[in-house]
């Protein structure tokens, strides 16, 4: 795995997704970002911050490739970070027409997928053929605001693939 070549994509535009975008943009050149509402994309391009979440956090637009087309973001990314509330995640995932079996999937949501009552990793393995070796979870005892403002906080990245954990966790250090 060529860690310097990995392209990240974030699915979601809430506070947690925005915080992850902020941190990733510190360590990576280009981040693909799926934002469902194209008006929000235009707002971010004009004002350098999310109109609805973490509005005090300035985003580096030179590193962001924003799109309201979920398939474009997934197609152009090696690592897909899913940061959508669990009650909406299945509806958004159903929009994806791109094969996910060769993608690295990172879960940044809490709870079970409501329609299937499965943990997100189990859901992705069963319905999208995502290997457990290409699946990670990110979480921690912190809030999106703390992470985005780069306050001292700790995130945990877990996977059965320890090499993958190491490569991905390096991209979140700041």
Q: In angstroms, how far is CA 70 from the centroid of its own chain?
A: 12
Gap between the Cα atoms of 102 and 124, Å rounded: 12
- Identify the residue with better confidence: 153 or 101: 101
**Residue 70, pLDDT above cutoff 60:** yes
Spatial neighbors of 111 by CB under 8 A, at least 6 apart, are 86, 87
Pairing status of strand 64-67 against strand 156-158 = unpaired
Pairing status of strand 135-139 against strand 156-158 = antiparallel
Q: What is the mean pLDDT of the chain?
A: 86
Residue 163, H or E segment: helix 162-170
Residue 167, CB-side half-sphere exposure with 13 Å CA sphere: 20
Token pair in block for residue 69? 């087309």
71-108 tens-digit pLDDT: 999 999 999 999 998 888 888 889 999 999 899 999 88
């Amino acid at each position: 795995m060529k860690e310097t070549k990995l392209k990240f994509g974030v699915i979601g535009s809430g506070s947690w997704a925005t915080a992850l975008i902020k941190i990733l943009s510190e360590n990576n050149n280009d981040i693909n970002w799926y934002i469902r509402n194209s008006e929000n994309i235009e707002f971010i391009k004009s004002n350098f911050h999310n109109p609805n979440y973490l509005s005090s956090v300035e985003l580096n637009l030179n590193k962001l490739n924003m799109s309201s087309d979920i398939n474009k973001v997934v197609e152009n990314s090696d690592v897909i970070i899913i940061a959508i509330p669990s009650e909406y995640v299945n509806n958004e995932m159903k929009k994806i027409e791109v094969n996910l079996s060769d993608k690295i999937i990172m879960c940044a949501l809490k709870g079970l997928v409501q329609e299937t009552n499965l943990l997100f990793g189990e859901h992705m393995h069963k319905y999208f053929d995502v290997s457990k070796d290409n699946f990670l979870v990110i979480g921690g005892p912190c809030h999106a605001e703390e992470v985005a403002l780069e306050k001292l906080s700790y995130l945990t990245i877990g996977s059965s693939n320890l090499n993958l954990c190491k490569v991905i966790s390096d991209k979140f250090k700041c």
